[in-house]
A and B are shown apart, each in its own frame.
Chain A
């Protein structure tokens, strides 16, 4: 439409202007402000002027180092044993007020491992909770992305059959998507309850009492898994619908040709359905990954990051600092780290799934 009749700078700006200005002001500007605040000591309310602090927020969040220690030996040179394990010098004596290693001040043990021999390597972090939050978030994403995408594809294939009343089932599978994740989280707190929860009662009934009640959200080894299962339950219908719309773009003539050739169900899926879903697959993986990195409401309603920090997440930490402690600079630094992670992962996903020519 390069006609002179459609040229109008005034109309263009007049009609697009309001939306463009709002997006510039409330999406793009805050994005740049996140970078700016992360290099300062900005607080939500503060009597002091804001100062530029360089990388210190990032050093505080990401500071990690290792320390290899030899076990404590008694006068004869034998390793001192405690509870059947060699005893190591207390980390506190090394990290606190130690003139030899001022760089370790304020660091705490994250985890430790032993590479054979007596010595043990300790991994120290300046902010252990944030490190746990990063690890938990990655676990969440690495499980949710493939499992949710896979289950959603399975449901889409199931719903794509020509059966009477299939639309009713499609409507039901999609139902949890329209329910707020906050409502779902509170509802599932009762289902996961350690004493009278539905889930424990169900497991007890089908195993004739063999499976003892589990405090799903109160146990560090099951809390994150429980949140993962619930999150998939809530969102899988969303991606089922996107798979379905992808399935419906595949030409029926391809399936007819396959039927004439006598292809097996697996062959049809492998050579017709799956190649036809390529672009949908890329989109779904990127969307689920982005959504999964934003994990917050479930944590806020169900566990508050506990027990023992086993459900801390990056966004929960960002909000706890930026809003809870009013530390805008710390919260902004976490936001920038999150953005860099999300951007890198979607670039990697795009590269891995690129069209090979």
Chain B
């Protein structure tokens, strides 16, 4: 009797794992295919896609596709642009949105409830519905640069950064998190005569590591993966980020080996970063849903 039930349990456990593995294969195979294909010459890449060799690093393996990709397009420029735009936006976003969240939760000031409601209302505006008028707007905004006053923001770094620094969701995430911090602590610090900046810097920030990580990860994913906006506002390749740089690879005769090399090059660092900080990534996505 005991034997049978043990065997049964083993069988059920095995079935469970089999289902989990099968589903895992569905999610992983295109990415493995991408990586393996990036190492193969075009001819072999297409032949291999007829069998399981497509998922194995076998045959004529080399980094040739990567060199060719660098020759076809200014890949280093694209990567530099993406890192710069993403990095600056994430840092400024954390500063401004956390400061705003702090003001909305801890400071009593006129207009805070109205403004908070207004910011929350922007959450139902998909970016796609404002992209076109925003394009018109930035095409004529003034900018004070090294060369003096210029009209129009197109083809620059700031056109890719400034519109995305502050957003309703990031402010909202900080507000939600700060609400759960002990408010009496902040009040007590005020009574003791601490300045607002000291409270923000010395009390709130050290308690808020997780929410800063969450906001940074979400902003990073959005910014690094931007496509529509930089496609419209950067015609000069000197300012284009990696996702728009993809266009150099799929428009004319497609050399699949080079395409896969470029895709791997811009994806693997993000995947590695994700696998390293996997728990934080998943927690940050989950937090967008908890109280929404």
Find out whether the CB atom of B49 lies under 8 angstroms from the CB atom of A339: no
Shortest CB-to-CB span from B172 to chain A, Å, is 11
**A166-B136 Cα distance, complex, nearest whole Å:** 49
Q: Does A245 contact B (CB under 8 A)?
A: yes
Complex Cα distance, B120 from A287, in Å, reads 15
B288 contacts A by Cβ under 8 Å: yes
Within the complex, the shortest CB–CB distance from B189 to chain A, in Å, comes to 9
Are B274 and A175 in contact, CB atoms less than 8 angstroms apart?
yes
Contact A180-B292, Cβ < 8 Å, known A6-B107, A190-B256, A196-B46: no
Question: Which B266-281 residues have C-beta < 8 A from chain A?
Answer: 266-267, 270-271, 274-275, 278, 281
B241 to chain A, nearest CB (A): 11
Choose one: B50, B196, B290; the contact of A15 (CB below 8 Å).
Answer: B196
Task: Provide the B115-127 mask, 1 if CB < 8 A to any CB of A, else 0.
Answer: 1001100101111
Closest A residue, CB atoms, query B116? A16
CB < 8 Å neighbour of A187 from B30, B47, B108: B30
Look across to chain B and name the residue whose beta carbon is closest to the beta carbon of A193.
Answer: B49
Q: How far is the CA of A2 from the CA of B239 in the complex (A)?
A: 49
If A11-B103, A31-B129, A335-B130 touch, does A171 touch B227 (CB 8 Å cutoff)? no
Tell whether A67 is near chain B: CB-to-CB under 8 Å: no
Q: Is the CB of B122 within 8 A of A27?
A: yes
| B217 → chain A closest CB, angstroms | 9
- Cα A147 to Cα B165 in complex, Å, equals 34
C-alpha gap A301/B244 in the complex (Å) = 11
**Using Cβ atoms and an 8 Å threshold, which residues of chain A touch B80?**
none
Choose among A16, A249, A296 the residue with the greatest number of B CB atoms under 10 Å from its CB.
A16
Residues of B within 8 A of A161 (CB): 16
Proximity string of chain B (185-227) to chain A, C-beta cutoff 8 Å, 1 when within and 0 when not: 0110011000010001000000000000000000001001101
Assuming A2-B108, A23-B122, A245-B286, is B246 touching A301 (CB within 8 A)? yes
Chain A 127-164: CB-based contact to B (< 8 A → 1; otherwise 0): 00000000000000000000000000001001001010
Q: How long is the Cα–Cα vector from A233 to B29 in the complex, in angstroms?
A: 12
A4 nearest in chain B by CB position: B108
Residue of B nearest to A28 (CB): B122
Please, which residues of chain B bring their CB within 8 A of the CB of A197?
A: 49
Interface of A is mostly: helix
B residues lining the A interface (CB < 8 Å): 13, 16-17, 19-20, 23-24, 26-28, 30-31, 33-34, 37, 46-47, 49-51, 54, 96-97, 99-100, 102-104, 106-112, 115, 118-119, 122, 124-137, 139, 162-168, 171, 183, 186-187, 190-191, 196, 200, 221, 224-225, 227-228, 231-232, 243, 246, 249-250, 256, 259-260, 263, 266-267, 270-271, 274-275, 278, 281-282, 285-290, 292
Q: Which residue of A lies closest to B274 (CB)?
A: A178
Residues A172 and B28 in contact in the complex (CB < 8 Å), given A5-B191, A19-B99 = yes
Known: A16-B112, A322-B135. A6 touches B190 (CB 8 A): yes
Q: Which of A29, A158, A167, A198 contacts B49 (CB 8 A)?
A: A198
Take A169-B24, A171-B275, A173-B27 as given contacts and tell me if A16 and B100 are in contact as well, using a CB distance cutoff of 8 Å.
yes
Nearest 9 Cβ contacts at the A-B interface: A12-B109, A322-B132, A242-B289, A19-B100, A15-B103, A331-B132, A245-B286, A5-B190, A33-B133
B contact patch SS: helix
Q: Which residues from B are CB-within-8-Å of A180? A: 224-225, 227, 243, 266-267
With A and B bound together, what is the CA distance between A296 and B243 in angstroms?
14
B27 touches A328 (CB 8 A): no
**B290 and A245 within 8 A (CB):** yes
Q: Known: A22-B166, A23-B167, A328-B133. Contact between A296 and B128, CB under 8 A?
A: yes
| Contact call B275/A335, Cβ cutoff below 8 A | no
Contacts known (A37-B136, A179-B31); A9 close to B274, Cβ less than 8 A: no
Given contacts A26-B162, A183-B267, contact A328 B135 (CB under 8 A): yes
Q: Which residues of B contact A163 (CB under 8 A)?
A: 13, 16-17, 20
Known: A2-B108, A34-B129, A296-B128. A26 touches B246 (CB 8 A): no
Q: With A15-B196, A16-B103 given, is the CB distance from A6 to B186 under 8 Å?
A: yes
Residues of B within 8 A of A188 (CB): 30
Instruction: Determine if A6 and B187 form an interchain contact, defined as CB atoms under 8 angstroms apart.
Output: yes
> Complex formed: what's the CA distance from A170 to B108 in Å?
42
